[in-house]
Copies of this chain bind each other. A is one copy, B any other.
Amino acid sequence: MTGNTARSTVLPVAPSRGRLRPLGLDEVRITGGFWARRRQVNATATLDHCRDWMERAGWTGNFRAAAEGRLGRDRRGREFADSELYKLLEAMAWQAGSGDTAHDADLAALTETVAAAQEPDGYLNTAFGRPGQQPRYTDLAWGHELYCHGHLIQAGVAQARARGEGELTKVARRAADHVCATFGPDGDQGVCGHPEIETALVELARLTGEGRYLDQAALFVERRGHGTLPEGEFGRAYHQDDLPVRRAGVLRGHAVRALYLAAGAVDVAVESGDDDLLAAVVRQWEAAVARRTHLTGGMGSHHRDESFGDDFVLPPDRAYSETCAGVASVQLAWRLLLATGEARFADLAERTLFNVVATSPSEDGRSFFYANTLHRRRRGTVPAADAVTLRAESGLRAPWFAVSCCPTNVARTLAQLPAHLATADDHGIQLHQYADAEITTTLADGHPVALRVRTDCPYGGEVAVRVERAVPGRPWTLSLRVPAWTAGATAWLIGPDGARRPVGPGTAQVTRAFRPGDEIRLELPVAPRWTVPDPRVDAVRGTLAVQRGPLVYCAESVDLPDGHDVDTIRVDPSAPPQDGPDGTVVVAGEATAYGDRPDAPWPYHPLDTPAGPPAAERRGIVLVPYHSWANRGPSTMRVWLPAERPASHPLRLGAEGDV
């Protein structure tokens, strides 16, 4: 690890050390394509949508009532509702950091509302401590007070980085000082049931240079895993309180909690040079990715406790894959990428961004998936546009939730997304995610450089990087991530001189004294491809999925003939999937109307049961990008597609069975 002096200040994560130096929102602009459209919808629809729903749900009013001394038992929303306002403020701050002034008035007004509710000692939470409410810190397991303080601090850091220190930053500092005073080495020895304060305190330490915030974050990381939280119905692993962070072998328990904690542990490890702690998180990440992650990058199999399942227990119809766990996984991967420089972390971030984070919001940015199932058997019902929805109730995107953590989490992620595209190091510039973008920064030697990236990702595989500005005669290295999904096909790197060379997954580099006008091109193979699961994943044995570039595809009932159902699809994996129109993919296979296949009296048959009636009509099955599903009304959907009759399993329908 090397020292790391970021040039930009507009950074969501600004480590003082690490393999790579992040580029900020003032250095990277997304100018077009997939993510530009998503960010546009986020900026022009989602932020206002969140603001309005929080007003309507009374969550913003909680702060006003607190400031006026009239809040008590009548407080609205769940115990963590304050944090949604903070996440919205953070999103608005990052928008400001990207030069978007449209939310400045809201940012100022909401900051004032929040600031007015802060207690003299820095404590700020609308759910605790007033007459008719529980006393402060009497329910660390479920009260979310430190969690809320963490999001407040992150918002204050974002404001400082985007616009310079302002009122929100002062509120955040006071809150952090209160936390340190209360939970310091000689204070309350507890930890919060929901990690979040750890990353926040480290980022505040990075902003302010005050080591006590880092020390407090390190204390929280080290205190966890010693069973100080009550065991509860889900067990100690739910709160990651079963094992100390540095001793655990895999991410476990509540997925968002596990990922936020891991991100905080990386932050602490990086700032304190604790390689042992960093290695522990890398090991947990590796095991979770190898055994506990859905094809989409989604994490979490359990609906009831929103947690990781056991190894290889990844049923697509029970995939919880909470949107916030996707956001948290991107945050963790980004920190690990900065610390290690390893492309595998950017690979998972890309997968998760396109297939979880991009799946949550509807096309209009005004409704959201909380859970992101990989298989839906019944058409969902359209949630009421003006009502709060329970977490994962309807099967369709909902405008707002009783637990509404996901909309604001998507909003702050999209707002900060340009900062996840590129980094620098002593040797040059690294591109990790591909989008139409303009990058302007200075190299380690202080010389300015500007790049323009053009790409048709994620539907195409062409990436062109044009050097707009460079100091002649000074050689440096441009690094381009070659995604792991190119394995088995050939990717090409074309240098400024037109020379083509094949490049494999990992990093492709060009080192030279670039001149303005030089263009480096990457050709990524994006033919759609069949993907098969590890045989230990019981729930998807005998099925295949289709991927194309970084996108996971799915079959959606609206693309089948009327009355046909995704659960009758059988695909022929001997034929490669083909590109269809408008980003679709077509695979060979058959589908029938659900009722077309008569029931056998009993659904279990002798292995040698003779063949039933001939297969239904053979046709092409149209698949759409998973992130786009459920934008055309209620439908059924599946990612994993059963193969026709594997030869060693002569399964046939309609045969007589033994009861």
The residues in A between 471 and 489 inclusive whose CB is less than 8 angstroms from any CB of B are: 483-488
Report A5 CB to chain B, min CB distance, Å: 31
Q: Are A377 and B310 in contact (CB under 8 A)?
A: yes
Q: Does A234 contact B (CB under 8 A)?
A: no
Q: Does A456 contact B (CB under 8 A)?
A: no
Using A535-B642, A659-B347, A659-B351 as known contacts, say yes or no to A529 and B484 having CB atoms under 8 A apart. no
Using A531-B604, A532-B605, A605-B531 as known contacts, say yes or no to A484 and B286 having CB atoms under 8 A apart. no
Q: Does A649 contact B (CB under 8 A)?
A: yes
Residues of B within 8 A of A537 (CB): 603
Residues of B within 8 A of A568 (CB): 536
Interchain CA distance A378-B304 in the complex, whole Å:
19
Q: Does A451 contact B (CB under 8 A)?
A: no
Which of B377, B573, B601, B606 touches A488 (beta carbons < 8 Å)?
Answer: B606
Q: Does A287 contact B (CB under 8 A)?
A: yes
Q: Are B659 and A344 in contact (CB under 8 A)?
A: yes
Report A170 CB to chain B, min CB distance, Å: 42
Q: Does A600 contact B (CB under 8 A)?
A: yes
B-contact bits for A633-650, CB 8 A (1 contact / 0 none) = 000000000111111111
Q: Are A601 and B315 in contact (CB under 8 A)?
A: no
Q: Does A567 contact B (CB under 8 A)?
A: yes
Report A557 CB to chain B, min CB distance, Å: 15
Q: Does A312 contact B (CB under 8 A)?
A: yes
Q: Does A214 contact B (CB under 8 A)?
A: no
Interchain CA distance A657-B351 in the complex, whole Å:
14
Interchain CA distance A570-B286 in the complex, whole Å:
26
Q: Are B485 and A534 in contact (CB under 8 A)?
A: no
Q: Are A487 and B658 in contact (CB under 8 A)?
A: yes
Residues of B within 8 A of A6 (CB): none
Q: Are B599 and A291 in contact (CB under 8 A)?
A: yes
Q: Does A313 contact B (CB under 8 A)?
A: yes
The residues in A between 611 and 659 inclusive whose CB is less than 8 angstroms from any CB of B are: 642-651, 653, 656-659
B-contact bits for A513-538, CB 8 A (1 contact / 0 none) = 00000000000000001111111111
The residues in A between 578 and 611 inclusive whose CB is less than 8 angstroms from any CB of B are: 597, 599-609
Q: Are B534 and A289 in contact (CB under 8 A)?
A: no
Report A508 CB to chain B, min CB distance, Å: 16
Residues of B within 8 A of A536 (CB): 567-568, 597, 603, 653
Beta-carbon nearest neighbor of A638 in chain B: B538
Q: Are A290 and B487 in contact (CB under 8 A)?
A: no
Q: Are A601 and B646 in contact (CB under 8 A)?
A: no
Q: Does A542 contact B (CB under 8 A)?
A: yes
Q: Are A601 and B541 in contact (CB under 8 A)?
A: no
Residues of B within 8 A of A486 (CB): 658
Report A97 CB to chain B, min CB distance, Å: 30
Residues of B within 8 A of A88 (CB): none
Residues of B within 8 A of A290 (CB): 599-603
Q: Are B602 and A289 in contact (CB under 8 A)?
A: yes
Report A284 CB to chain B, min CB distance, Å: 13
Interchain CA distance A445-B377 in the complex, whole Å:
57
Q: Are B599 and A533 in contact (CB under 8 A)?
A: no
Q: Does A96 contact B (CB under 8 A)?
A: no
Report A577 CB to chain B, min CB distance, Å: 10
Q: Does A113 contact B (CB under 8 A)?
A: no
Report A59 CB to chain B, min CB distance, Å: 25
Interchain CA distance A2-B70 in the complex, whole Å:
77
Beta-carbon nearest neighbor of A378 in chain B: B310
Q: Are A344 and B601 in contact (CB under 8 A)?
A: yes
Using A573-B648, A607-B544, A651-B532 as known contacts, say yes or no to A485 and B289 having CB atoms under 8 A apart. no
Residues of B within 8 A of A606 (CB): 487-488, 529-532
Residues of B within 8 A of A645 (CB): 535, 648
Q: Are B534 and A651 in contact (CB under 8 A)?
A: yes
Which of B529, B535, B539, B659 touches A651 (beta carbons < 8 Å)?
Answer: B535
Q: Are B607 and A646 in contact (CB under 8 A)?
A: no
Which of A312, A317, A599 has the most chain B CB within a 10 Å cutoff? A599
Residues of B within 8 A of A570 (CB): 535
B-contact bits for A275-291, CB 8 A (1 contact / 0 none) = 00000000000110111
Which of A375, A535, A607, A646 has the most chain B CB within a 10 Å cutoff? A535
Interchain CA distance A378-B377 in the complex, whole Å:
28
Interchain CA distance A377-B291 in the complex, whole Å:
14
Which of B304, B484, B532, B604 touches A649 (beta carbons < 8 Å)?
Answer: B532
Interchain CA distance A532-B378 in the complex, whole Å:
26
Interchain CA distance A43-B653 in the complex, whole Å:
45
Interchain CA distance A650-B542 in the complex, whole Å:
10
Q: Does A92 contact B (CB under 8 A)?
A: no
Q: Are B534 and A653 in contact (CB under 8 A)?
A: yes
Q: Does A295 contact B (CB under 8 A)?
A: yes
Beta-carbon nearest neighbor of A655 in chain B: B534
Residues of B within 8 A of A31 (CB): none
The residues in A between 258 and 290 inclusive whose CB is less than 8 angstroms from any CB of B are: 286-287, 289-290
Q: Which 6 A-B pairs have the closest CB atoms?
A: A646-B646, A542-B542, A534-B603, A541-B542, A647-B647, A530-B607
19 more A-B contacts (CB under 8 A) besides A347-B659, A484-B657? Answer: A289-B601, A290-B599, A290-B603, A291-B603, A313-B377, A483-B658, A484-B658, A486-B658, A488-B606, A530-B607, A531-B605, A534-B603, A535-B645, A536-B568, A541-B541, A541-B642, A646-B646, A646-B649, A647-B647
